[in-house]
Structure 1
C-alpha cells in the first residue's frame, strides 16, 4: 500500500511539474508545415530536349524526313529513354548488355540482358527486353583485344571495329573477308564473338581549308593558306609562290598529309596553288578574330585607300589600308612585280595568307617589313591575276559552276562565270554589250544585267 501510494504521489508530482512546465513558458507558435517537394525536372527539361533550337529541328526534318512535331516529340522521347536505360543499367550490373531506341518518333527503348529473369523488371520501366548471350563488359573485353592488336598491326584493310549491342557481338568492317579473318586471328579472339562487315569504305578525317591556317612544306618551313580554289574536280588553295615549288608536298595545321604544289611562280610574281587530297574540303572561309570566320563572296579589287584585313598563322587577324597597287618589290631572292602595298603588319609564317576587303578576296601575303608589335608594311599578290594565270576558280559563298575560260579563245567576248575580268573589259551577254567596272572573277550570280556595281551597259 505504501508503495502504491508513493507511486501515486510521484505521478501526481510529475503531473504537477508538467503543469508547471507547460505554464512557465508561453506556448510555441504552431510550426509551418514542411513544404511538399514538387516533381523534379524531367529528363527532357534537364537536357533541354523540350526546347530544341530551330536549327536542330530544321536539320532533323530535312535529314530524318520528319514533321516539326515529330522531330520535337522524338527529342523528348529519346531524352526520357536515356534516363530509363540508365536506371536499368545500374540495376542489372554485369548482366546489362546494352540499350537502344527505335522508331521514327516513339524512341522505343530496348534493353538487353543476359538473364531472362530480368525481363519483368525491364518491362516495368516501359522498355522491351532482349535476352542475349554476352554482357556489355564481355563484348568490350573482346574489342580491347582487337584494339591492342591494331596498335601492332596497323590494319589498313580493316579500318573499323566496334561493339554492336543490337547484334550482341563485336563487328569488324574490312575490305575483304581475308583481311578481317587475319585481324581476328591475330587478336586471338573467338570468331563466334566477332562478325564481319565487308565494305570498300575507308574513313578519313574531314578537314576544312580555311584562309589563314598554317600549313607546312616538306617539313622544312611554314606558310599560311590563302583562299580555297578549284580547278575542275581538284580542290586546293592559293598561296605565295615563294612558299614552295611544283611537286613540293604539304601537311596541314594538324601535321596530316594535305597536298602538293601544282604550280608556282617566283620571282617575277609571287603566286602558287596547292592541290589537296580528299581529306580536305574547300570552303569560302577565312579565319578572323577570336577564331571567328568571314566568308568570301567574290574577288572585286579594292581601291587605293580602302580598308583591308589579313589573316596569318603567326600573327592572326590584322587590318589596315591599301597604299597602292601595281608595286614592284625587290627581295633578296629576286624582284616581284604587280604587288599591292598595304599598311597592315605581318611576320614570318604569315606568307601566303589571305587579304580581304569586306567579303571580297584581295590577295595572298607576299612580304614586307616591320612587325605586329611596332607596325609595318606588307605586300600582297593580287588574287585575280593568280586565278587567271593558273585557271582557278575562287571558292565563294555562291561558288560559280563555270570553268575559268581562256582569255584568248574564240568566245573571249562572251561573259562567262569563272573568268577573271579587269576594269574596262567588254563582254557580250544575252545579246547586249557590257563594260567591266571593277576587276573580279565572275560568279554565276553576278551576270552583267544583275550587277550594275560591276558592269555598265554600253
Structure 2
C-alpha cells in the first residue's frame, strides 16, 4: 500500500522536473541526509554493509558532480565515463595521454582507449538510420556505444542468429568495431498495463506510473498516452491531460495537471524505503547505483549499464535511452528512476520481471525538461 502521503485530497504519484535553471548539486545533500531507509535498501540490493552503502552513495554523488568538468578537460579525446564500484571513483576514457593527464588533474581516473565518443556515436547513428528504414530484425534488442571496449555493443536474443540478423551484424561491422552480446537478452517491450488496482494514473484502459513532478504537472512515458488524452488519478478523479507526448523515436510525455491535483518533489518508496525527496537531476555515470519506483512492482534498485542506447521496440526504435539492471513489469511505465536525491529519468520498457530479474531502460529526465521547457519541482 502507499505510505506517507496523506490522501486528504487527490495526490498524484509524484514526479520530478528539471529544466534549464540551476541544478542542485548532489554533494549538497550527504548520504546522512538521504531519506530514511535508503541505505537499508542499497545494502539489500548490492550486498553491502550500511557503512559501505553510505560510502558508495557519497562517492557516486561526487562522481556525478565531477563528470562534466572531467569531460570538458578531455576535449575531443573524450570517449566516455563510468563509475568504478571497486575503487569508488569516476573513470574517464580518452584517446591520448595528454588528455589523460588533464583528466587526472580533476581528481578522476583516466584510461586510454582506441575510439572517441564522437567516433562511437557516429557509428551508432548509422545503425539508428537503419532502424528508421525498418532494416533491423526484431531479434536485435538494442545497441549502444561502450567506452570500456571502444565498440558499439549490439544486444541480440540468444538462439536467434538468423540470416537476417547476420546481415544486420555484417552492416554494423562495416561501420566500425562492434561487440555482440546475447547473454540474457530478450525482445524489449513497454511496461504499460491494462487497468488494475494500485496507485497509478489511468488513460483509457491503460495504467502507467508518474515519473517526476514539474511545475504545472508531471513527466512520464510517451507510450502511455497521446497529446490531449485525459488522465485520471489513483482514485479515478480527473487529473489532467497530456500536454505533450512522443513515441516511438522518443518515449516521453508530460501531463498538465488540473482538478485540484498539485505537484510534490517526492518519489514514493512504497514502504520499502521512506519516500525520497527530489533535489535535482545530475546525470549519473555508467556503473552508478539507481533505483526505480513504479505502481506495479514499487521500489527496486540496480546499476546504470549504458547510455545513449537505441532500443528496438516492436512499435519502432527509441533513441538516447539509458539501460539499467533494474527490473520492472507492466504498469511501471513512466515511473521514476532516481539516484540518491537526483532524478534520472522515466521508465520506458525492457524485458524480464521482478521475480527472475531483467533489464529496463529509461528516458533521461534532462532531455524531457529541455524539450518541453519544463522546470523540475525540487525540495
Q: TM-score, normalised by structure 1?
A: 0.40
More helix by proportion, 1 or 2? 1
Q: Which has the higher contact order (CA 8 A, sep 6+)?
A: 2
Q: TM-score, normalised by structure 2?
A: 0.49
